[in-house]
Structure 1
């Protein structure tokens, strides 16, 4: 198969100065590599300078560059420095107005602010150029629209007539099949996203299957974050100087820099915690001083012990005379008052709600602050569940979800204040959920959210007046994941299979609890790193899949090895799981992931590298 070369250009003054702030460009690279086999993606970051953008476009559209498609992100708005469309128009031979219009219509269905985009699509030689907006969300939406059009467009540009004819034939066949009777069509295809009416005779879920990112956005937009502490930290001014006195940086001798080198009489010893000596002394005198101790009022330098020589001791063994071997310099090895933190300055330059950070910094200025943590309950449902301390009973299984979810909460710094195990009984579930919110803000429940006749969670939530915002998610494992809310109380219904509950907790419940605690948006989610897959021929599922994997670091590169059988009931797959590897959904052109593929992966633990080679 011929290699397809794409180029992604991020246009942003900010990202050009700091590449770590570029979210849209790397996201586009990821989307291209996930959706196109045998493709190579070039990546550039340019400032909002029309001439530089035009020059780069000309360079990439030259025949020898062999770039089939260029996608720019950013610089398409109304701001004075938004000049990407102008640079594009200066390079293209033909405009593609229908493609531009289609993208605009698609974007307008997502947000009315898409009307403020001036994106251009066009052709330069044999290269297709597409302008996407600058936000990561808009990039994903635009790419989702064009990804199925791109192969045919590139075949046309390269005059690959056989492939063009094949596509046309497929279109004709699809058009003919659309004239079949509804019954015949239904027999040939069942849509995995199909939703039903929700009545007793309906075999399909009434809830639409939402993408993971959309699900997370719905959850975070619903939850009211804790705003008091972030504002308090933002406004807090230090009541003290650190250090509050001039402090010695080294163990050595405090003296006057005007006294030059040579022999000095040792007047005494100054230890950390002593008061400042205000008595004046001569240039040929000094004080022995410890690290962190207050420098005498009339001393202006400290000479480290390594640059001195002991000449004489007193009868009691204390030092009497030392030789200074170097020329002293003013302020040498002295921390000035307030050099670490000045009185009246902002204590938290950025809001960071890590308990270690908040409590440590507040303690350093003599204050304490209570950290708000949401109160969380863990519920497991299932008449088949046994307490881990019970004897085995035929037809029963041990409840691992309660233990797992409680331990995960503790691992990430949150407390589980209530745990309950319920049978598959409507009344019991109803009564428990009616009363439990008197004690907690969040309920994380596993089981009872699928389509079985004993799955009572969703009916109970509806009866209690909860708003069910999420009923299914387009992911594997975790499709039945449920989220509901009522009066600033929140419910997560995780699937009962242990691995499904494990994955959904990390992807949805943890970010939600962090958000409610006041964490910044960027810090709520698990960190995502790029990993190289080591397993050959991993079959892709129709849904995006999150596989557990072990990480090995080789010369600074991260390699992921899938942890065996990934069946959602097999809890053993979390053994050695450092990350969740994000596998894309299967497409007509990509049915497998292969060794060497670079994929995003969510980091599950702080010590997430198992092996170094």
Structure 2
């Protein structure tokens, strides 16, 4: 470890394909990002190198990094750990190890097995050479990331031991101190031994939002009817028109359908009214030369008509014998052109045209519902809205509606009603999770029960540095969750926390659910969801 307390790591990507074309490698960048974003500021990745699936080449690079005065603390390799003929990374690394580390191997396999049974098809190796920890990871970027995440918090302690640190000093305080040093706060430590500076690196708001987007579960797509219940939903597909609008040639004025001369002759004259076309379904007699049809706005043109003259440009000449209808009408317009005052088929929307794009929101006033209805769409694919639970924490918090005065130290809960109303206003279903007390067991039980009911939990309070701020350690230690960030460079709202927790859904499948833990200060608590509405409205947050 350097004087600044930073551990040095190098990444060896084992891939014959990537050694020929480095642009095909994704693992190196992903693993580097894990060190940077989840390593609590303890790591510096000095180099990422790509080599082919060759035993000697692998060994030459590893020994160059481990043997000598400038040895690194940690080498992570990725690739070549499977059963393929070319997979030789374990065979290259094992002879180099002076000590085996089966515990790290077991931890990685157990973590991967919880995700996929194919984890058992990997052959990881871990151990120590000289003063360097060496760990092999699978070649899959996803698998490599999950394996590294499963042991990352243990590696600083392992590297310190391998580098020659005094074991008695390292183990002073027992397992609880080691867990704390690994980034896991123990609520039982008490005020005298709690962390006095946050173990979570400070992230910019943009970096925090990127982590939210990266770790939020993928969207679930469902079919929904095109009706009022669609308001607030986000489309999961481009919507194309299955029919044209209008579906027929229609008049855009009240007047008379005519056959306009195409030879330059005058259009003026007196013509018999042969038929009437209203904006109602039905057959219309074809129009013949020398005839006109009375027509209303939106009504279909009779076959043969090619133009419409406004009623203002006409004069009634004669009536039928009963006086109920027009018999003859004089056209006053001198130069009526073909196509005047007509909406052609598909002039508004053509068949096959994209009318709404994936990711667009169906609003109450934006006309999206009318657009879908106009082309005959009965249902569309949307992203399923998550059910969001809102929880307040703290022994001092009481219901805002509780009658009577407050006792010394009590605070009425204003966060939960405020956050709940904001989320409802954005069109999401909300479950009121009530108030959880500052007791580790009670908080864990409340969160576990909530994770069975909702997809996303938003909490307020308990995320700062107080001895009763239990949310972060409860998420990590009791729920087995991963805190992706615990501090954000924003005022107010710095302790805002984002975590995912693995649970089983109703089908027994392992899924991640999301927890946002907001500060207890009302202004801080409302700042994050209020100013980041776009992420609640994004595709990621329309999933389950």
Distance in 1 of aligned mates of 2:492 and 2:381: 37
SS of the residue aligned with 2:276?
A: strand
TM-score by structure 2 length?
0.55
Report whether the alignment pairs 1:386 with 2:398: yes
Counterparts of 2:319 and 2:407 in 1: how far apart (Å)?
84
2 CA distance for matches of 1:109 and 1:362?
Answer: 52
| Other structure's SS at 1:493 match | strand
Contact 1:352/1:358 (8 A) holds in 2: no
Alpha-carbon RMSD: 3.1
Q: Which secondary structure state, in structure 2, belongs to the residue aligned with residue 454 of structure 1? A: coil
Q: Is residue 2:293 matched to residue 1:287?
A: yes
CA contact (8 A) 2:287 2:303 kept: no
Contact 2:184 2:473 in 1 (8 A): no
Partner of 1:243 in structure 2? 246
Inter-CA distance 473–110: structure 2 relative to 1 (3 Å threshold): farther
Of 470, 482, 490 in structure 2, the residue corresponding to residue 475 of structure 1 is: 490
The yes-or-no answer on 1:206 pairing with 2:199 is yes
- Of stretches 436-445 and 345-354 in structure 1, the one that deviates more from structure 2 is 345-354
Give 1:508 shift.
4.3
Q: What's the CA shift for 1:321?
A: 3.1
Q: Corresponding residue for 1:497?
A: 521
Deviations 1:389-432 (A, max 9, x none): 32133233322212211221122232214442223232222112
Closer/same/farther in 2, CA of residues 500 and 349 from structure 1, 3 Å limit: closer
Give CA-to-partner distance per residue, 1:335-388, whole Å, 9 cap, x none: 111222222333435652334565443322222226321211111222333333
SS of alignment partner, residue 340 of structure 1: coil
In structure 2, relative to structure 1, the CA distance for the partners of 1:398 and 1:310 (3 Å cut) is: farther
Asked if 1:321 is matched to 2:328, the reply is yes
Give the whole-Å Cα distance in 2 for the aligned partners of 1:295 and 1:111: 74
Listed one character per residue, the Cα deviations across residues 266-315 of structure 1 (whole Å, up to 9, x for unaligned) are: 334322233241x2233332222222211112211112223333344454
Please name the residue that 1:253 is paired with.
Answer: 256
2:372 is aligned with 1:362: yes
Q: Helix, strand or coil: the match of 1:409?
A: helix
Which residue of structure 1 lines up, in the alignment, with residue 282 of structure 2? 275
Q: What is the count of residue pairs matched by the alignment?
A: 329
Residues 283 and 500 of structure 1: CA distance in aligned 2, closer, same or farther (over 3 Å): same
SS state of the match for residue 480, structure 1?
coil
2:423 to 409, 417, 421: 409
Distance 2:370 2:541 in 1: 18
Residues of 2 paired with 1:254 and 1:268: CA distance?
Answer: 10
In structure 2, C-alpha distance between the alignment counterparts of 1:413 and 1:111, rounded to whole Å: 47
Relative to structure 1, is the Cα distance of residues 485 and 271 closer, same or farther in structure 2, using a 3 angstrom cutoff?
Answer: same
Give the one of 307, 310, 316 matched to 1:301: 307
CA separation in 2, counterparts of 1:448 and 1:509?
23
* Map of 2:273 onto structure 1: 266
Mapped contact 2:254–2:297 kept (Cα < 8 A) = yes
> How far apart are the structure 1 equivalents of 2:275 and 2:460?
69
For 1:363, what is the secondary structure of its paired residue?
helix
Cα gap change, 1:261 to 1:419, in 2 (>3 Å): farther
2:539 aligned partner: 515
Q: 1:387 to 1:251 in 2, by over 3 A?
A: farther
The structure whose Rg is larger is 2
CA contact (8 A) 2:243 2:350 kept: yes
- Contact 2:259/2:304 (<8 A) preserved: yes
List per-residue Cα deviations over 1:38-81 (Å, max 9, x = no partner). Answer: xxxxxxxxxxxxxxxxxxxxxxxxxxxxxxxxxxxxxxxxxxxx
Residue aligned with 1:320, SS: strand
Q: Answer yes or no: is 1:233 the counterpart of 2:245.
A: no
Relative to 1, partners in 2 of residues 1:312 and 1:444: Cα closer, same or farther, differing over 3 Å? farther
Give the distance between the partners of 1:273 and 1:345, measured in 2 at CA: 26
Confirm or deny: 8 A CA contact 2:464 2:519 kept in the other structure: yes
CA shift, 1:470, in A, is 1.0
Would the alpha carbon gap of residues 511 and 215 (structure 1) be closer, same or farther in structure 2, given more than 3 Å must change? Answer: same
Deviations 1:317-339 (A, max 9, x none): 44333322223211111111122
Residue 387 of structure 2 corresponds to residue 375 of structure 1: yes
Whole-Å separation in 1 of the counterparts to 2:356 and 2:496: 37
Deviations 1:536-562 (A, max 9, x none): xxxxxxxxxxxxxxxxxxxxxxxxxxx
Q: Structure 2 vs 1, CA of residues 440 and 257 (structure 1 numbering), >3 Å: closer, same or farther?
A: same
**Structure 1 residues 426 and 366, CA, compared in 2 at 3 Å: closer, same or farther?**
same
| Equivalences for residues 186-205 of structure 1 within 5 A | 198=185, 200=189, 201=193, 202-205=195-198
Aligned to 1:216: 209
Q: What does the per-residue CA deviation read over 1:68-110, in whole Å, with 9 as the maximum and x for residues that have no partner?
A: xxxxxxxxxxxxxxxxxxxxxxxxxxxxxxxxxxxxxxxx989
In structure 1, the partner of 2:114 is none
* Stretches of structure 1 lacking an aligned partner (at least 5 in a row): 1-107, 113-194, 520-613
1:466 aligns with 2:477: no
User: 1: CA distance between counterparts of 2:390 and 2:236?
Assistant: 31
Determine helix, strand or coil for the equivalent of 1:233.
coil
Q: CA separation in 2, counterparts of 1:111 and 1:401? A: 46
Counterpart CA distance in 1 for 2:493 and 2:271 is 75
Distance 1:227 1:423, change over 3 A: closer
Aligned counterparts of 1:439 and 1:275: Cα–Cα separation in 2? 54
Question: 2:47 and 2:292 mapped to 1: Cα distance?
Answer: 72
The aligned counterpart of 1:591 is none
Displacement of 1:213: 1.1
Cα distance in 2, alignment partners of residues 213 and 496 from structure 1:
22
Alpha-carbon separation, structure 2, partners of 1:465 and 1:369: 37
1:168-199 CA-partner distances (Å, limit 9, x unpaired): xxxxxxxxxxxxxxxxxxxxxxxxxxx98856
Give the distance between the partners of 1:304 and 1:269, measured in 2 at CA.
15
